[in-house]
Amino acid sequence: MAPRNLRLLVVAYHFPPVNSSGAQRPVQMLRYLPRFGVDVSVLTRGYERTGLASEVNVVRIYDTNSRGRHKALHYPLRVLQRTARTLGAATSWHGVWAWGVKRNAAALLRHTRPDVILSSYPPIETLEIGLFLSRQAGASLVADFRDGLLFEPIEQEMLRSTRTRARYRDVEERIARDAAGILTVSDPISDYFRTKYGHRAVMTLPNGFDPEERWIDPTPAELDPHKFNIVYTGRLEMSEKGRRASSFLAAVAQLVADSPLVGERLRIHLLGEFSGAELASLSPLVERGIVRVHGFVERERSLGFQRAANLLLLVASSGKASVVTGKLFEYLASGRPILGVTRGTAAERIILETGAGYVVDPADSTAIRATLERAVADPDFLGSLRRRDEEIEKYSRPRQMEVLASFLRDVVDASTNAG
């Protein structure tokens, strides 16, 4: 008789309807892991209070949010949390959600009956919930780090509080001790857990692309196919402190000032959410028609812009070895050339290993300008790239989920045998 499917509960705060690259990782687990013998349920947040079984394979627990009438509680609570943290408290952004999960833990575990629990960080509450639920259910725990917690931390502002840093250190040490497996998005984070804690069951599973995902092509009014179109999708510093496109934009401004022909042909499309300061810095180029800010669009339209681009812009904070943004893998799937403005990151390594584009140092405005000028003026420059399809295929979600399914079985088997 064939063995039954493994039952996996994924704890993921970021999940649709949130439209972000971080939400795509649990989405692809839910979509593809059942093909490889793993039945998946996702525990996430909800905007309204609903029953545990209101969605198939998705359990939503209410968290305060900024939608409609919920603002009356959400924003005062945020101010209170920030003030308390400034005074030294270890406050939690998503404490209401975490409390709701623990309050409903018994019913939640009866509903999902997990053999293994996978907690996807950030935020910190997912790891704490994973530790709690794995004990309650007697299930194996896998901690999934989409960013570093204490190693090259994504939450630097939170860690300014001494008590919050102590809380994070305690959680990381408990994960290293109690988690049967550790999953990360990049080798530097994996190496950190192997070296610092001696954890043996650590695997790197980078983000990836969905080859079956659909897209909507932009109209000629949105993206003129007769121009040289550079497309950037996502956020900048609103997503990660230190991620700035200022050097790129300065190079663009200088280039179009010196070369009217380039300015006539070049168009830069920004899709996503940008801060007031970022929009202000863009205004001179927007007024000249060089830059178009499209704002937030649905995912299918964002993918369509990527596939219609002549060049895709990637901006990643330099100096952090683990940094690789989710949009890089969407870019790889599009088949369009990539210009990576980054240095010393996993994103740089992937672009070069796959032959998918060029990488320039964010501090070298001369190199940025020269690369842009060649890309716009010389059709053979981008055409000379040699994409390595076999390397790119490693980031296909179905292939990755097959590897993950095997890892999860090994983790559960090892835990069972140890017990």
CB atoms within 10 A of CB 317: 21
d(CA 203, CA 250): 40
Do 296 and 321 lie in one domain? The reply is yes
Do 292 and 193 lie in one domain? The reply is no
Most distant CA atoms of the chain, gap in Å: 73
242 pLDDT exceeds 50?
no
Strand residue runs (E) in 165-258: 181-184, 202-204, 228-233
240 pLDDT exceeds 50?
no
Dump pLDDT digits (tens) for 95-151: 899 999 999 999 999 999 999 999 999 999 999 999 999 999 999 999 999 999 999
Dump pLDDT digits (tens) for 62-76: 998 888 778 877 888
d(CA 77, CA 149): 24
Query: For residue 221, is it within any domain?
Result: no
Query: Is the peptide bond preceding residue 225 cis, with omega within 30 degrees of 0?
Result: no
Do 309 and 275 lie in one domain? The reply is yes
Do 386 and 403 lie in one domain? The reply is no
176: nearest Cα among 192, 154, 156? 192
List the structure tokens of 58.
Answer: 């998705």
Do 32 and 141 lie in one domain? The reply is yes
Query: For residue 200, is it within any domain?
Result: yes
243 pLDDT exceeds 50?
no
φ/ψ of residue 17, rounded to 5: -80, 5
Do 22 and 106 lie in one domain? The reply is yes
Q: How, if at all, do strands 338-341 and 311-315 pair?
A: parallel
Q: Which residues contact 213 (CB under 8 A, 6 or more apart)?
A: 303, 333
Do 44 and 139 lie in one domain? The reply is yes
CB atoms within 10 A of CB 366: 11
Q: Choose the weakest-confidence range: 18-27, 43-52, 235-244.
A: 235-244
Query: For residue 216, is it within any domain?
Result: no
Do 277 and 413 lie in one domain? The reply is no
Domain count within the chain: 2
Dump pLDDT digits (tens) for 292-349: 999 888 989 999 999 999 999 998 766 667 777 778 999 999 999 999 998 888 889 9
Query: For residue 223, is it within any domain?
Result: no
List the structure tokens of 154.
Answer: 């994504």
Dump pLDDT digits (tens) for 138-195: 999 999 999 999 998 888 888 888 888 999 999 999 999 999 999 999 999 999 999 9
219-242 burial, b for 16+ CB within 10 Å, e for fewer? eeeebeeeebbbbbbbbbbebbee
Residue where the block lists tokens 């970021």: 14
Query: For residue 220, is it within any domain?
Result: no
270 pLDDT exceeds 50?
yes
Query: For residue 365, is it within any domain?
Result: yes
d(CA 199, CA 186): 16
d(CA 340, CA 232): 11
* Mean local confidence (pLDDT), 376-404: 92
Distance between alpha carbon 183 and the CA centroid of its chain, in Å?
A: 14
Query: For residue 219, is it within any domain?
Result: no
Beta carbons of 397 and 381 less than 8 angstroms apart: no
pLDDT averaged over every residue in the chain: 89
Query: For residue 352, is it within any domain?
Result: yes
The one-character DSSP state at 2 is: P
Beta carbons of 154 and 164 less than 8 angstroms apart: no
Do 314 and 402 lie in one domain? The reply is no
List the structure tokens of 144.
Answer: 């999934």
Distance between alpha carbon 100 and the CA centroid of its chain, in Å?
A: 25
CATH code, 380: 3.40.50.2000
Q: Which residues pair with 141 in a beta bridge?
A: 117
φ/ψ of residue 232, rounded to 5: -125, 130
State the residue range of the domain holding 413.
Answer: 6-208+396-418
pTM for the predicted model, two decimal places: 0.83
What's the pLDDT at 241?
Answer: 47
146-158 burial, b for 16+ CB within 10 Å, e for fewer? bbbbebbbbbeeb
d(CA 229, CA 306): 10
Do 21 and 149 lie in one domain? The reply is yes
Strand order in the sheet with 6-12: 58-62, 38-46, 6-12, 116-121, 140-145, 181-184, 202-204
Please count the residues of the chain: 419
Do 405 and 361 lie in one domain? The reply is no
Split at pLDDT 50, 70, 90, the class of 2 is: low
Residue where the block lists tokens 């059709």: 379
Do 25 and 161 lie in one domain? The reply is yes
